Amino acid sequence: MKTMLITTGPQGSGNHVFSKVFALHKQVYGWKDLLDKYWIAHDYEPFSDCWDMPSLLNSIDWTSMDYYVTSISCPYANKGTVTIPRYKDFIRSTQQLGIEIKVAIIGRDQTVLRYQQERVRDRYSYPDFEKQLDYLMEFNPTFISQELLYLYKGRYLKSLSKQLNFPIDYDNPLIDEILTEDANSKYFNKIQRTSLDKIVRNVSGLGD
């Protein structure tokens, strides 16, 4: 049965990086153009027009692949306009074509997410996505993590492939290249030792 994986999450949670790694597999129709660039606007995502007008799904040639992946953040920029994805219309239109829907919900550290949204979009938009969660939960989604992706890389993707029952090229050498720079690192600075650190170090035999 043909399968469509919808990867979605709050704006800035990691849609682009997951789009890259999911598009690596030869059996998956995904955002291949993104593999050659660090970032491309959502307007160029393969199914972007369908998110704006789900009826366009009927005009797609579904014979080339058995596995498809689309990425959408909530909210997203639709030709310069902040837009809430039409989840129900998109999913219903896809299912009417006889395509199975799988949903993967991306998560990211909540403090980093707030900082990122306020830095790039001038507002904390997570509540916009939170309002959509009850509907998305109807599809028994798999929750995926940007932090776990950067930490465990191919091992994490191998686990996700089994959880999602979806092909992921977790051994591809490009994965290390894609994940070279942790997107969270710019938000962190080392802190001074705390009083608790002294206790832990003593227990560990390290002294002060």
Q: What is the pLDDT of residues 139-195, one digit of tens each?
A: 999 999 999 999 999 999 999 999 999 999 999 999 999 999 888 888 877 767 666
The predicted model scores a pTM of 0.90
pLDDT at residue 195 in the model = 66
C-beta separation of 182 from 149 below 8 A = no
Q: What share of the chain is helix, strand, coil (3-state, %, to 5)?
A: 45, 15, 35
Band of the pLDDT at 199, cuts 50, 70, 90?
low
Q: Which tokens belong to 77?
A: 């920029």
Whole-angstrom Cα distance, residue 133 to residue 42? 21
Tokens of 82: 């902040």
Q: What pLDDT sits at residue 190?
A: 72
- HEC profile for 130-144? HCCHHHHHHHCCEEE
Please state the rounded mean pLDDT for residues 46-57: 95
DSSP conformation class of 59: G
pLDDT in tens, 76-135: 988 888 999 999 999 999 999 999 999 999 999 999 999 999 998 899 999 999 999 999
CA angle 44, 62, 30 (to 5 degrees): 35
User: What pLDDT is stored for residue 89 in this prediction?
Assistant: 98
For residue 37, the model assigns a pLDDT of 75
3-state DSSP call for residue 207?
Answer: coil
How far is 147 from 14, CA to CA, in rounded Å? 10
pLDDT, averaged across the chain:
91
**For residue 137, how many C-alpha atoms fall within 13 Å in the half-sphere facing its CB?**
6
